[in-house]
Chains A and B, each alone.
Chain A
């Protein structure tokens, strides 16, 4: 579960990246975060995975108030979240397997178990035959699928994705979205930031719209121009 209460983020004295943002995402929900470039989508995600603190307000992730969380506990909370980025953020000098099993490796999980888990998640994203490939040897879509596999290997309760289809063509974008839906069906809360309104329409999920750092939540006050179409046809799963 994700909850924000009156969250603001200022960069310097005059620039409000986010202003008084409040919303709640229920466990197992699939939500889009949308808005034009510079609206504050990425800033909001950075606050959620504790890369930055909010200037004011409270953030609860998985029942933990991030504002009062001891620094030593931050990595452990992050392990309950998976993060996917637009630019994949794979480590180029590591293989697909090493990228995915990084945290398990650090923690000393037996290599056989690491391999089993990596194979399992790679199979879910259709890349189990690329375990020993390096990121540079993969296409953009494949790299993003590896990033998704890395994000879900720890079986997170929350999956955050920042423009995950920004670098992909429409066909690959739909593939990636299908993966997110599959992950969501298994119980993971998914929050996807994207400016692709067409994609949101097709998915027919709840959307939170940010504009100049302010939230237009259609569940609370839906502006007429809000691009929320709940009636849109659901993407078929493969």
Chain B
């Protein structure tokens, strides 16, 4: 026979009410545990947009051309170098389109521009086995050519930037892992405490013929709901932080942050927070409702 859902919900609510402090502590810890990695994920998402090239491979050398320069001729000249795999010609309009795709939130500002603000450029991608100094050497050579405005060996900056974003992302995962583990243990403690408070009742329920499912289901639901609530609060806090930062940057613009800080987490990533909270809660309850808390009848031979 199955357990009645209404009974499970009522009992879970009763458990939550019987130990409000523990419930609050567990919910708070889960919220904090998910807020911190969520914040790092938000940072990584916004910074990451700079690190990821729209066209795929990152350019090792970016050559900015003068408006009247012959981009094709310069590209052909570069292509003769065996260390170079690809030379991409990026016109002013293409650069503007790329920027619009990367920062759709700035579309309104860009639309007001009468002419393309980005000069034409050449992006040089190296062969996979090219020596580390190749980008600098190519940049030094190209800098002397007519029609070249400026040259940047972007490989090193790009790599460092990607590494920084990756570091933020990994730190988020690492901290998130540790804090989630702490949250799971906190929920486990809360459930164990609730179980201790209800130990007599559990014993009576068992003697009255309640199945293990009927006894445990309210505790599972209680812990899962705790996690879900904690995750929801973390999401709310994260969105509040994002809105506050947006407001703050709008009032006092920053040359870099104002450009980068343009988007919140995607809907699936946002929903991941309450889902992770619920999973942590369920894991905590499973941890605390192990077999050692269940008096078993062993078989005799």
Contacts and interface: CB of A to CB of B under 8 A. Distances in A.
Chains A and B form a bound pair:
yes
Contact of A102 (B18, B203, B208): B208
Nearest to A80: B209
Nearest to B18: A93
Given A52-B297, A74-B297, A91-B204, A103 B209 contact: yes
B7 A106 contact: yes
A18 B204 CA distance: 24
Interface residues of A, number: 34
**Which of B4, B209, B212 has the most C-beta atoms of chain A within 10 angstroms of its own C-beta?**
B209
B266 interface: no
Interface residues of B, number: 28
B123 to A, nearest CB: 67
B208 to A, nearest CB: 5
Nearest to B204: A89
A108 B2 contact: yes
B295 A106 contact: no
B34 to A, nearest CB: 32
Contacts, number: 74
B208 A50 contact: no
Given A93-B14, A106-B7, A78 B204 contact: no
A105 B4 contact: yes
Interface string B192-229: 00000000110111111111101000000000000000
B209 to A, nearest CB: 4
Given A89-B200, A105-B4, A106-B214, A53 B300 contact: yes
B294 to A, nearest CB: 9
B210 to A, nearest CB: 6
A55 B3 CA distance: 33
A76 B209 contact: yes
B68 interface: no
Interface in B276-297: 295-297
A4 interface: no
B141 interface: no
Nearest to A160: B207
**Which of B203, B206, B211 has the most C-beta atoms of chain A within 10 angstroms of its own C-beta?**
B211
Contacts of A56: 300
Interface in A47-86: 49-58, 66-69, 71-72, 74-76, 78-79, 83
Contact of A91 (B7, B201, B211, B300): B201
Contacts of B114: none
A154 interface: yes
A53 B299 CA distance: 7
B296 A103 contact: no
A199 B23 CA distance: 49
A108 B7 contact: yes
Contacts of B18: 93
Contact of B209 (A51, A79, A93): A79
Contacts of A66: 297
Interface string B218-252: 00000000000000000000000000000000000
**List of 9 A-B pairs having minimum Cβ-Cβ separation, nearest first:** A79-B209, A108-B4, A67-B300, A78-B209, A106-B214, A75-B211, A53-B298, A75-B209, A50-B297
20 contacts: A51-B207, A53-B297, A53-B300, A57-B300, A58-B300, A68-B299, A71-B296, A78-B206, A78-B207, A78-B208, A83-B207, A89-B200, A91-B204, A102-B205, A102-B208, A103-B208, A106-B4, A106-B7, A106-B210, A106-B214
